[in-house]
Amino acid sequence: MSPFDASPFDADRAVDRRRLKRGLTFWRIAAIVLAAILGGIVFRATDIGGSGAFKGDRIAELTIDGFIAPDDELYDRLDEAREDPAVKALILRIDSGGGSSIGGELNYEKLREVAAEKPVVAVMEGIAASAAYMTALGADRIYAHGETLTGSIGVYLQAVEATELLRSIGIEADLIKSSVIKGQPNPLEALSDEARAALADVVADSYGYFRGLVADRRSLAGEKLDAVADGRVFTGRQALAAGLIDGLGGKKAALAWLEGEKGLDADLPIEDITPRPEDGRGLLGAAADAAVEALLKNTELSERLRVDGLVSVWQPRP
C-alpha cells in the first residue's frame, strides 16, 4: 500500500505517537537535569567547606594557584579553618606567578590571622613569585623545591599610550579635565611629567610595603635585602641561600616540620579546603565559569580582565 493510501485513522495514530515520544524525551531530559541539580546539592552539603567527611582532628590544606586577586571565597575558607578547633594546622600550597598587589596583601593578612591561632606552613610548587611570594610570607615556615621559581620582589604599573596610532588614522581626542594629572594614565593622551612622577610615587610606596614585609618576615636588612628585592627571580636553591625560604621540600617536609617543631601527629587526616568553581554558585554558574575560563585560559586578556591597579607578577615576555 502506498503511503498516500493511509487512512485518516492511521495518520492520527502517527501524530499521537510523535507527540508521545516528544513528551517522553522532555521528561527524560527534565529528570536528568533534576538529578544533576540534586546531586550537586547533596555534594555541596556533604563535601564543600569540609563540614561533611571530616569531623575529628585534622590538618587543612589549601591551594592558591593562577592569578593572585582578592577572593572572598578563599578568605571564608581560611576563616573557617582558623575558627575550627579541630583544624590543627594549615598547609598552604602555592603555584602562581603573582598577580595584583592588593591580592597579595589581602592573602598575607588573612594568613597571618590564621597563623595567630595555629601553625601555617607554605609549600611553593612550580612557581611562587611576586604577589605569590608575598602570600607565602604569611606562613610561619616556607618550603620550595629546588627548581621552584620565586622572588620577583617588586611592583610595576603599565599603561598604553595610543595617541600616535589614533592620529595616523585621523582620530584626535579632546579631554577636559580638572587638572593635568586627572585621569592619567590614559591611552588618549601622552603621560605628563607630573602624572609620571605621581605614579612613580605610588609604585614606590607599594614597593616599600612589599620590601618591608620581606625585611620583617625574613629578617633581612641592608645589602642582603637589597640583593633579593630588586625584582630578580631565584630558584628554590638560590632562595634558600638568600634567606627567602626555610628549606627545600614539599608536603612531606611540611608535615615533618609540623610534627617535629609543633608536636602534631603527621598522620592526621588532611582535608582539602580549596574553593572549587562550583562552590556556592550552582551548577549553571559553574558551567558559565568553566566556559569563560576555557576561552581566556593562557591569554594576556585573562590577566587584563582580572586586575585593575598595581601589579606584582613575574612573567617572561618574548
Q: Is 168 a catalytic residue?
A: no
The one catalytic residue among 100, 101, 130, 152: 130
Q: Which three cell numbers stand for residue 107?
A: 592573602
| C-beta of residue 115 within 8 angstroms of C-beta of residue 138 | yes
The one catalytic residue among 21, 177, 182, 252: 182
Contacts of 108 (CB under 8 A, 6+ apart): 134, 135, 137, 138, 213
Q: Is 192 a catalytic residue?
A: no
| C-beta of residue 136 within 8 angstroms of C-beta of residue 92 | yes
Residues that are catalytic? 130, 182
